[in-house]
Amino acid sequence: MGTDSRSQTPSLGRQKNDLTEGTIWKKILFFALPIFLGQVFQQLYNTFDSLIVGKFLGDEALAAVSSSGSLIFMMIGFFNGVAMGAGVMIAKEYGAKNDKTMRLFIHTDVAFGLSAGILLTILGVSFTPTILRWMQTPEDVLPQSVEYFRFYFCGAVFTVMYNIFVGILQAVGDSRHPLYYLILSSIVNVVLDLVLVGGFHFGVGAAALATTISQGISALLCMIQLLRSKAEYRLRIKEIGFHKESLKNIVRFGLPSGVQNSVIAMANLVVQTNINSFGQSAMAGCGSYAKVEGFAFLPITCFAQALSTFVGQNLGAKKYDRVKKGVRFGILCSISMAELIGIVFWLAAPVLIGLFSNSQDVIAYGVRQARVEALFYCMLALAHCIAGIMRGAGKATVPMFTMLGFWCLLRVTYITVMLRFYPYIEVVFSAYPLTWGTSCIVFLLYFFKADWMHNFDRIEKKQ
């Protein structure tokens, strides 16, 4: 890709963040651990929103906030998916020590994020009521849902830029600084929730405002870190802009992930619509389950991200045997941790869901969902890890088509058809392990049988 000369003397920053040298399992774990801890804090303050809202404002407000995940992911997922393409390219150029090309990708990525954040703010504020009505949000919940989403999307640019900056730092092997900034912003979010919602009872809009402020702080701190860095990936304000060739490759490698995120989110909106049809208690219970489930996803997502960066950097350095060893270790760790957490969640579901609401109906819905899904988290981990590996190898179209086929088309078709014959909410819940399992079969067949996993060097020459 890059044709510029390579750096002759690696900087201290490069030596610390380089995943192409050193003991493989240590490099992956020490890179993944800050991502994991950061996601724990992020999940904690997202969960704290629901806890405070549920305890101080009631189940109606909890339903409005708890059903937010699918809509937010649909609006933000596309832009974050495209940014994944930038992360892959930055990691490869970093591993190959093509610093000039890497900087072009970084500054194009930042320009893309700024443009996307502004656009997303306009779309989110303008179309939130329409989308919520399409989702069949109950009328008693609708006003608070609109209030929450509008406040949230007013700060969409902070959310997008935080993910852009974190993607850049992680691509060059720095997962520690995003952790520090996320811890600080999480504390700010919790304090604001307690003051604005718990103390002054300002409503769900205040919970969204607290999230927006905390995300703005973390994005600002990440930007300062990049601006002040002495390493090759330093951000320079005057260089921010769209560089044609860099943008072309970012879109080329990121568009499949962006489309995948958006379509999966749209499918999940259909799922959420079906959950909404079971009433306010179902919305609150399933939303509470989703908050707890988010913790189970943490080892899955952190290892998938770590593997993408590890594969990208080592392919850039042309260390193909190292890639294969790292892939095997990462998959094994992810599925083991995910299944252990799933077992704990299955057993402790009544207590965990009960943290969000005192209503027995709300708790019952959340527990019913946990008892259907929790023991199958190992399959979700496997699918995400293989998808992350493929993205790191620049083959994002394979996970895109696989996930669109199973996590979207099959999931929506299954729910739509089966609910006609069995009008029980367990039909909605069972769609998840069904589609995780079927996608895993395809991923495993491709992973073990396809030429790409065993011939990285030849595949690289074709790209």
DSSP assignment letter at 463 = -
- Is 298 in contact with 40 (CB distance < 8 Å)? yes
Question: pLDDT tier at 66 (50, 70, 90 boundaries)?
Answer: low
CA dist., res. 140 & res. 155, Å (int): 26
pLDDT digits (tens, 9 = 90+) for 372-383: 999 999 999 999
Model pTM above 0.75? no
Q: Which of 32-41, 57-66, 215-224 tops mean pLDDT?
A: 215-224
Q: Kindly list the distances between the CA atom of residue 139 and the CA atoms of 63, 65, 319, in Å, as whole numbers in the listed order.
A: 12, 15, 57
Query: Is the model more confident about 185 or about 454?
Result: 185
pLDDT over 90 for what percent of the chain?
21
Which is nearest to 284 in space by CA: 59, 74, 441?
59
State the helix-helix crossing angle for 360-373 and 280-296, rounded to 10 degrees. 40
pLDDT over 70 for what percent of the chain?
89
pLDDT digits (tens, 9 = 90+) for 172-203: 888 888 888 888 888 898 888 888 887 787 87
pLDDT digits (tens, 9 = 90+) for 10-54: 454 555 667 888 888 888 888 888 888 877 777 776 677 777 777
CA dist., res. 214 & res. 190, Å (int): 9
Instruction: Tell me what pLDDT residue 68 has.
Output: 58
Which is nearest to 311 in space by CA: 84, 60, 11?
84
Name the 3-class secondary structure at 302: helix
Residues 6+ apart with CB under 8 A from 11: 230, 231, 232
Instruction: Tell me what pLDDT residue 309 has.
Output: 85
Name the 3-class secondary structure at 175: coil
Which is nearest to 37 in space by CA: 338, 379, 301, 334?
301
Instruction: Tell me what pLDDT residue 454 has.
Output: 52
- Is 226 in contact with 235 (CB distance < 8 Å)? yes
* Averaged pLDDT score across all residues of the chain: 82
pLDDT digits (tens, 9 = 90+) for 364-374: 999 999 999 99
CA dist., res. 80 & res. 384, Å (int): 16
DSSP assignment letter at 241 = S
Tell me the two tokens of residue 242: 């769209």
DSSP assignment letter at 35 = H
pLDDT digits (tens, 9 = 90+) for 438-452: 999 998 888 776 555
- Is 287 in contact with 66 (CB distance < 8 Å)? yes
pLDDT digits (tens, 9 = 90+) for 250-285: 888 777 877 777 777 778 778 888 888 888 888 888
What is the Cβ-side half-sphere exposure of residue 357, based on CA atoms within 13 angstroms?
32
Mean pLDDT is lowest, of 212-216, 242-246, 317-321, 332-336, for 317-321
CA dist., res. 47 & res. 52, Å (int): 9
Residues 6+ apart with CB under 8 A from 198: 52, 55, 56
- Is 356 in contact with 284 (CB distance < 8 Å)? yes
Alpha helices in 354-455 (DSSP H): 360-373, 377-392, 397-403, 411-421, 425-449
Ramachandran angles phi, psi of 23, nearest 5°: -65, 125
Instruction: Tell me what pLDDT residue 45 has.
Output: 66
CA dist., res. 235 & res. 161, Å (int): 13
CB atoms within 10 A of CB 146: 19
Q: Kindly list the distances between the CA atom of residue 440 and the CA atoms of 150, 378, 384, 429, 446, in Å, as whole numbers in the listed order.
A: 37, 10, 9, 18, 10
